[in-house]
Structure 1
Amino acid sequence: MFVTAYKRLRLPLLVGIALAAFSGISQAEHSWGGYHWARTGNPFTLKLGDNLTSLDWKNHLAASSSDWNSPPSGATTPLFTAIVGGLSTKRTCSMVKGTTQVCNGKYGFNGWLGLASINITGGSHITQGAAKMNDSYFNLSTYNNTNERRHVMCQEIAHTFGLDHQSEDGSSQNSCMDYFSNTGANATNSDSTRPNAHDFEELNIIYAHGDSTTTVAASSATAPSASDVDITDDPNSWGTLMRQSANGRSSVYERFNRDGSRTLTHVYWTFEAASRCPSCDHRFESHDRN
């Protein structure tokens, strides 16, 4: 009788332990649609093409690359980054197969601070990426500080790894993959400027499986991709709005290309753009500063 009672108690206890363990394993849930670079083993190295035009931005790229290469004690990463010479121009930031190209420029008062694009083949494989920082806004006092620049740089390059946001409500998870804003009273606050343990946990989940092929450049690529997979200065080139955060600061767009691939773009909007109409597609709004 004691054995029977023990078995009855033991079963839900074991189930609870198993569920708790599973919950811990899957706690980080901010993959961007399951998109990932194909590779034949871990860890692998993703090359970041430096097309940046100022020492300040170059320093932020170097710091963010170092942060993503430095998981916290006890954690591991399947993905390392290496900064290489850029192969694009700051204006177009054309994607280059097997790499992420990183650019800055005065892209205009069009409502966005930063954006990241990835080209997808085979349903989920990233083949190339681009990350752009908009100096038209970063040169303004509202956004022109070290912590906001580093936050956005860290986040935009990580979108090209296949990561999404941990939070989009403006709260700080102390991860650059949240939408805390290091502006105004928070301009001197360095929270949310680096990845945290959950970001590395998610990377390990995304890259836990194996692939039989690779889309990662083994050496520095030599030429930009075909222009029809890139986005342009025309926001209509982003394609269809797929989703937008409740506060209007984050949008994802998708475009189908003639070669059968898809280009997806994460857009980080300014406070000003989001506050006018959080539910609107900000591409079709006026962002005139006069």
Structure 2
Amino acid sequence: MFIKTHRKVIIGASVLATVGLALVTGATHSWGGYHWARTANPFTLKLGDNVSGAWDSYLGTSSADWSESAVLDTTIVAGGTDPRRCKPTLGRVEVCNSKYGKNGWLGIAGIYVKGGHITQGYVKVNDTYFNTAKYNTPAWRNLVLCQEVGHTLGLDHQDEDFYNSPLGTCMDYSLDPTLNQHPNQHDYDMLETIYAHLDSMTTIKASAISGKHADVDPSDPKEWGKELRKSKDGKASLFERDLGKGHKLFTFVFWAK
């Protein structure tokens, strides 16, 4: 099995040198073990570019950051959906932005799963909030987009307490995003654990979505399914919807504060 050289990124070193490092080192933040099926490492995951010019550089940063992983690369390709609806495409992740309204969330990420394997995913960032003075900053845009893309790779949060010290990773909740704009070493280590084994088939071949899954509207919270978990602030952060015949949709929600 070929593993590319891991170019380590040192981010937030002053934070990682504190007690935050101890918290990160022993943590496991795989999202239920869900992963993209593939027959070799490193594999390449396509990110469909359905974002406006205001988000292009941040999508580029997130793609480059996650491609630092030893087991995967991400590549940005032409978008395959309407940004407002952001319907997924089999074998890839569609990334979208639009004014989704004052619904409380900054970003959401969804993965469609069958038999433990991710078959498609989507990321949505809400310009209703990102066009405001509070959230229209490079730090907030980097944090939220990086985190949502991380979810589509199979990662959970490292921490869900907004009031803890920043862990130096975008997979952390924080009131101040400055130190949490990029993945950290533990994220890359977790990806190596998730993708340590190979599969006999692949789910990273793109084709048009069809059937019942095409009728799911990720914009509508009523379609997210049942609540599985709340974050430390009491808001529901993870949902599951059973789509039948072994297919499920999991949705992570990043709420505005």
* TM bucket normalised to smaller: 0.7 to 0.9
Match of 2:121 among 119, 129, 137: 129
Q: Is the 8 A contact 1:243 1:252 kept in 2?
A: yes
Spell out the pairing of 1:236-255 with structure 2 (5 A cutoff). Answer: 236-248=222-234, 251-255=237-241
Letter in 2 for 1:246: K
TM-score, normalised to structure 1, is 0.76
**Higher helix proportion (structure 1 or 2):** 1
Q: Distance in 2 between matches of 1:228 and 1:39?
A: 22
Counterpart residue number, 1:94:
87
Q: Distance in 1 between matches of 2:49 and 2:77?
A: 6
Deviation at 1:181, TM superposition (A): 3.1
Counterpart residue number, 1:157:
149
Counterpart residue number, 2:54:
56
Counterpart residue number, 1:47:
46
Deviation at 1:144, TM superposition (A): 1.1
Deviation at 1:28, TM superposition (A): 4.3
Deviation at 1:231, TM superposition (A): 3.3
Provide closer, same or farther for how the CA distance between residues 222 and 127 of structure 1 changes in structure 2, counting only shifts above 3 A.
closer
Match of 2:196 among 208, 220, 224: 208
What secondary structure sits across from 1:236 in the alignment?
Answer: helix
1:69 and 2:67 are equivalent in the alignment: yes
Q: Is the 8 A contact 1:248 1:269 kept in 2?
A: no
Counterpart residue number, 2:13:
none
Counterpart residue number, 1:83:
76
Deviation at 1:222, TM superposition (A): 4.8
1:269 and 2:255 are equivalent in the alignment: yes
What secondary structure sits across from 2:128 in the alignment?
Answer: helix
Unaligned runs of 5+ in 1: 1-22, 72-76, 272-290
Q: Distance in 1 between matches of 2:234 and 2:107?
A: 14
Letter in 2 for 1:228: H
1:194 and 2:182 are equivalent in the alignment: yes
Bigger radius of gyration, 1 or 2?
Answer: 1
Moved over 6 A (4+): none
Deviation at 1:70, TM superposition (A): 2.2
Give the fraction of aligned pairs with identical amino acids, expressed as a percent. 48
Q: Is the 8 A contact 1:151 1:194 kept in 2?
A: yes
Provide closer, same or farther for how the CA distance between residues 227 and 50 of structure 1 changes in structure 2, counting only shifts above 3 A.
farther
| Count of residue correspondences | 231
Q: Distance in 2 between matches of 1:61 and 1:34?
A: 25
1:38 and 2:31 are equivalent in the alignment: no
Deviations 1:212-235 (A, max 9, x none): 111012xxx353444635333321
TM-score, normalised to structure 2, is 0.85
Q: Distance in 2 between matches of 1:258 and 1:30?
A: 27
Q: Distance in 2 between matches of 1:114 and 1:147?
A: 14
